[in-house]
Structure formats: C-alpha cells, structure tokens
Amino acid sequence: MRNVGTVVRGIRTPIIKEQDDLASIVVDSLMEASKTEPFTFRDRDIVAITEAVVGIAEGNYVTVDEIAEDVRRKFKDGEVGLVFPILSRNRFSMILKGIARGMDKITMLLSFPADEVGNGILDEDKLEKSPYTLADTFTESDYQREFGDFIHPFTGINMVDFYRDLIHQENCEVEFVFSNQAKTILDYTNNVINCDIHTREKTKRDLAALGAHVVGLFEIMNEPIGNSGYNPKYGLLGSNKSTEERLKLFPKSGYQLVLAIQNRLRELTGKEIEVMVYGDGAFKDPVGKIWELADPVVSPAYTKGLEGTPNEIKLKYVSDNKFADLRGEELKEAIKEEIREKNSNLKGNMLSQGTTPRRITDLVGSLCDLTSGSGDKGTPVVFIQGYFDNLAND
C-alpha cells in the first residue's frame, strides 16, 4: 500500500546557455538525480522545464533596436497609443524602451486601481473615498490631484515616473491617461498597440471595429527582423528583460523539445513519461493581489497525456453523504470502490462539486512555478510523481 501521494522534486542542472542541447541536459540531470537521491521512474510521471531555459537554449532573443524597427514598420507616422500595459520593470520596461525608440509620441492608457496582473498604482481604499469610479477616465493631473503618487505597493517605485523617464530618455513624448475602457485611447490617437495579455484578442477586435489601426503586442516581433529572434504566436508577450538592450522571448520550439525528452526517457526507462514546458503559474497572492500569470499561457508546449482537466470525486462530499454511517477501514474501502466506478466524465455531477475545474497543464504548471521559484534555487526542471494517482491506486 502506498502511504505517499504526489511527490515533487526540483532537479538541479548545469547553468543553461544559448545553443545548449537542452533535451540531453534535462534527461542527463534526471538520470543522475535518480541515482544520487534514488527514485524509480513510473508511467505518467511528469517532467517540466521552465520556459526561461527553453528560450535561452534556443537563443530566442530580440534587441531594443529590433523592436523599434518593427514598431516603425507598423506605425509609420511616429505616434502610437498603448492600451493596458502592465507595470513591470522586468516584463514591460524593455518593450516600452523599444517602442519609444521607434516613435515620436506615446499616449499610454493605464488601467486602475491596478494592471491586469494585479500590480497596483492606487490603494483601493483611496478609490472608495474618491468621486472617481472604475468607469471614469481622467488625466495624469486629475489623478495626482485626487490620489497623489503612483506607488507600486511592493517595490515602492513610482511606475508612472519610471515609465516617463524611460520614454523621455529615448527622445519620445508621452501622455498618461487612466481608464478601464480600451476605447478611451481613440480620443487621443487612432494608432494603437493593445498590450493586454489575457484579453488581447477581444481588445484588438473591439478597437478595430471602432476604426482603429490596432496591432497587438503579440504581433510585434512575431516575425524576425534580420537575424533576430521572434515568436510567431505570441510576439513580445511572455518576454523577459535579459540586458539593458536585449529581451528573451517566450519559447517557440517547445513542442519539439517535449517530444524529444519524452522519447529519450522512454528509451532509457521503458516508461511513458509526460513532459511540459511551464512559465508563470496561474495563482493570485491574497495579500498583495498580484496575479502571477504575466505569460500568455501557463504551458506553451506539452505531451498529449497532459491534455484535459482532472476527473475527480470530492472525498468529503462522498464521505459526508453517501457513506455518512461508515467509519474506518470500511469507509475507506467503500470510497475506493466509488473511485474505481466513477464515470469517465464527472462534469456537472455532484460527486465532483468542490474539485478544481482547471486544465491539468495550468494546475501542474502552477505547482512547478511554486517549486522552482524565480530566483536562485537552480532547479529549472521539476519532476513530479503520483500526480495522477488517487486513493484507489494501492
């Protein structure tokens, strides 16, 4: 009988650099870990690799100059409005630098009291005491007169000043507007880059219907400029600052990588092991209100065994209702039998009430992101066992 459920291990690897054979590094690191801290491979184990090292290994980088050139090609009159950019030095500042380098004027429309992923510029208590509402639009001077500074709650940085200084350093003008309605930008300019992440398709569609010349951030650097990197599906979405003049893009070759790793592990272990690439986890900080998912998806590439959503029954519900009179071993055996006989699709069934109706890749990716962190743990590979097990799997 198994007395341990899901086990998650962070796997240390060599430091990954451009053009490294990442598939070999991942497999070799796993095999070495299985010997030094012994574990046995099983069918339906999961190997996950952070998107950061995938992008590094494939050399998928762009420069600020390349961004500037692409923006100039798409907005030839030198003026553009940015709709709903996030407030992030890591995620957006270098993108903004490239846009400013390519333009003469930027009108930046910021949402409030926070950006799309929860980075705040306004204390919600202040908004409640203000004559403004979430449906209002106001200028920078209106904002400052009513609320004061634009201070990020965690970093303590005035992000509006930070973005203004960055834009001015590129000899570009800037005007800030605050609104939660994307169409507000059309009062200032008809040229628009919509920078939102998870509502990007709708925002672009709505603005285009109003006559805007609109390009999504996912369509900037979606093709190479000369020998630059690019991402055909996500463009600059999911990119990270690399240096003061260079960004690492979201991976574009992840699917080939996960298949290569799965095939090599099958040859070495005889097991069918699932593999995925993961980025940000999909979870929200209950205190800081920051939603972690600044990437366009949690997982840009995964093997077929990770498709779908969990199909689980809620043990507490079954115990409290169907088997309310049972205790101890009798209760356990009854529940195990219930699990064995459950329907292949429990959607809408009361037995699944309270379970998490999310995609497996989003759940596993969030688990991996929490395990590897974003700092100095040195574990860009995560190995998960028992994720698909249940109480009936003795």
| pLDDT per position as a tens digit, 5-34 | 799 999 999 999 999 999 999 999 999 999
The alpha carbon dihedral of 42, 43, 44, 49 has a sign of positive
- Which is nearest to 109 in space by CA: 221, 169, 192? 192
| pLDDT per position as a tens digit, 142-178 | 877 777 777 766 677 888 999 999 999 999 999 999 9
Mean pLDDT is lowest, of 267-281, 294-308, 330-344, for 330-344
Q: Are 180 and 112 in contact (CB under 8 A)?
A: yes
- Which is nearest to 234 in space by CA: 258, 188, 182, 198? 198
Between CA 118 and CA 112 the distance in angstroms is 10
Q: Would you state the pLDDT for residue 349?
A: 47
So where are the chain's domains?
A: 7-59+252-310+356-385, 61-247
Tokens 């959503």 -> residue: 309
| pLDDT per position as a tens digit, 32-54 | 999 999 999 999 999 999 999 99
Is residue 183 predicted with pLDDT exceeding 70? yes
- 244 vs 346, residue with greater confidence: 244
Q: Which fold has domain 7-59+252-310+356-385?
A: 60s Ribosomal Protein L30; Chain: A; (3.30.1330)
Supply 118's token pair: 């929860």
How far CA 48 is from CA of 22, 34, 65, 169, 311, in Å, comes to 12, 16, 33, 40, 21
Supply 339's token pair: 């699990």
Q: What is the pTM of this model?
A: 0.87
Q: Are 53 and 380 in contact (CB under 8 A)?
A: yes
- 131 vs 360, residue with greater confidence: 360
What contacts 286, CB < 8 A, 6 or more positions away? none
Eight-class DSSP state of 316:
H
pLDDT band at 352 (very low <50, low <70, confident <90, very high): very low
